[in-house]
Amino acid sequence: MTQKRFLKAALAGLTLSLTAAAPTLAPADTLRVLRGAPSSALNVPMNRAIIVESEEPFTELSIANPGIADISSLSDRTIYVLGKEPGRTTLTLLGADGRLISNVEVHVAPDLAEFKERLSQIIPGENIEVRTANNGIVLSGTVSSIARMDRALDLAQRYAPDRVSNLMMVGGTHQVMLKVRFAEMQRSVSKALSSSLSISGTGFDNTLGITGGTGASVTQGGINTSLAGNVPGGNANTGAAIFNFGAGGLEVGILLEALESRGVVRSLAEPNLVALSGQEATFLAGGEYPVPVPGDGGVSIEYKPFGVEMKFTPVVVDHDVINLQLVAAVSAIDTANAVQANGFSIDAFTRRETSTTVEMRDGESFAIAGLLSDDFTDLSGQVPWIGDIPVLGALFRSAEYARRQTELVIIVTPHLVTPTRGEALALPTDRVRPPTEQDLFLFGRVARNNAPSSGGAGEVARQDFIGSYGYVLDE
């Protein structure tokens, strides 16, 4: 009795160990094949298996393309079909007498069940439809953002490399308004102090002339003019004073020059532009300057744009995250640096430009460019040796001082926008109308108020011309 119990326990343990050691196969679908009846197509997911059962015993099996599917017989009536690569092939079953039992069309496609499961885990809440077509995967439906669509495409490439068709659409708001602000301040200060000394002896028939100092270039004729009490003609300094006196046949003239100048320049540009996500938009408020260009056939004219220029391409990445590729510039004609070429005077241009790519959310701002420049120069000149003499040497010296500071900043702010009704928009001309003859001649009015009284335009029109909103800035 004890031996029987021991044998039973040993057999039970051996059975459990064999069961645990046996490989666990995924449950496979089954296709039943009947002689003389057309067999339906066998759809096999890639890297998964399907069981084919034959009504009659078969003696020979063949697969047209072993690279697409692999087969093995489990018995004389059961076949194990494993999908390897996407494609179509044919499975042939022959009976004992060599006659054909059936041809089974085998269609191997990516495992959509697993792909759909992974898709719902990685990108939850998206309405994405998955289908197969021509050994590939077709994705359709509507997703909430471009980033989620890219994730779905990347995942599909794992299951069907280079065989993914994208028919998905991106929903939501995809029109972007870009607000760019150029702000520049320029400050300049310059100071100059110089003096000149002229001595003329009339007893030598005006042949004796001595000049000193570096503030003015004075000739013999200029000496006589300066002694008469006038500023020399070659000097344009408005801060000049002349002192002269005579001692017998000797006349002495002293010219003192002093100048201080200060200047402040403020420039502001604020272009706004709307574009569809992924589409480029350009903006130019200014003009085109003609530039003569010499050539073989003569002189031709090319036009160079100037003013406020902007070019940008927005891409709505995910919900309210916006990627911007931006080129912005502000230029103006600079007549001070004009050049002469072939008899033409060509003006130069001052230009502030930036080109960058940034990413931000709706309503956020970036200072994408900035410049702080501080230029300082000073110059001191004198007549050698004489300028070093105390007190009297000041008449033979000159000094100049100049400082220029520039501050520039460019700020961008994107907004997701949707269209609105036309009557809700106000134009800069809505508030002002040309005067009638009665208004102009009887009351002296140069304009009459004929603003809209209702709607969004009326609300804007009732506002005062005060503040930094609308189309008028309070200086």
Q: Quote the domain boundaries for residue 438.
A: 421-462
Question: How far apart are alpha carbons 406 and 443 in whole angstroms?
Answer: 47
Same domain for 104 and 159, yes or no, is no
What is the Cα Rg of the chain in Å?
46
Structure tokens at 360: 């931000």
Q: At what angle do helices 146-159 and 112-122 cross, to 10 degrees?
A: 150
Query: Would you say 250 and 244 are in contact if contact means Cβ atoms under 8 Å apart?
Result: no
pLDDT for the residue numbered 326: 93
Count other C-beta atoms under 10 Å from residue 417's C-beta. Answer: 12
Q: Answer with the one of 76, 109, 142 that is the final residue of a domain.
A: 109
Q: Answer with the one of 124, 153, 170 that is the final residue of a domain.
A: 170
Query: Would you say 91 and 71 are in contact if contact means Cβ atoms under 8 Å apart?
Result: yes
Same domain for 41 and 103, yes or no, is yes
Query: Would you say 172 and 164 are in contact if contact means Cβ atoms under 8 Å apart?
Result: no
Question: How far apart are alpha carbons 130 and 115 in whole angstroms?
Answer: 9
- Percentage of the chain modeled with pLDDT above 90: 10
Domains: count for the chain? 3
Same domain for 152 and 93, yes or no, is no
Place of tokens 């900035």: 370
* CATH number for 83: 2.60.40.1080
Same domain for 104 and 119, yes or no, is no
390-439 residue pLDDT tens: 877 777 778 888 998 888 899 999 998 888 877 777 676 766 778 888 88
What is the pairing mode between strands 164-170 and 136-143?
parallel
Structure tokens at 193: 């102090």
Instruction: Name residues whose C-beta falls within 8 Å of residue 227's C-beta, 6 or more positions apart in sequence.
Output: 198, 200, 244, 251, 253
CA angle 411, 415, 419 (to 5 degrees): 140
Q: Which residues of the chain have pLDDT under 70?
A: 1-29, 34-38, 172-173, 197, 199-243, 248-249, 426, 428, 430-431, 449-475
pLDDT for the residue numbered 203: 53
For residue 471, is it within any domain?
A: no
pLDDT for the residue numbered 172: 67
Q: Answer with the one of 170, 190, 211 that is the final residue of a domain.
A: 170
For residue 258, is it within any domain?
A: no
CA 50 to chain centre: 53
Nearest alpha carbon to residue 107 among 80, 83, 73, 138: 83
Structure tokens at 233: 């003609």
* CATH number for 155: 3.30.1340.30
Query: Would you say 329 and 312 are in contact if contact means Cβ atoms under 8 Å apart?
Result: no
User: What is the phi/psi pair of residue 320, to 5°?
Assistant: -110, 15
Count other C-beta atoms under 10 Å from residue 317's C-beta. Answer: 17
What is the pairing mode between strands 175-201 and 208-213?
antiparallel
Show the beta-strand stretches assigned E in 125-249.
Answer: 127-133, 136-143, 164-170, 175-201, 208-213, 240-247
pLDDT for the residue numbered 472: 39
Question: How far apart are alpha carbons 457 and 23 in whole angstroms?
Answer: 77
Same domain for 140 and 99, yes or no, is no
What pTM was estimated for this model as a whole? Answer: 0.57
Question: How far apart are alpha carbons 153 and 161 in whole angstroms?
Answer: 10
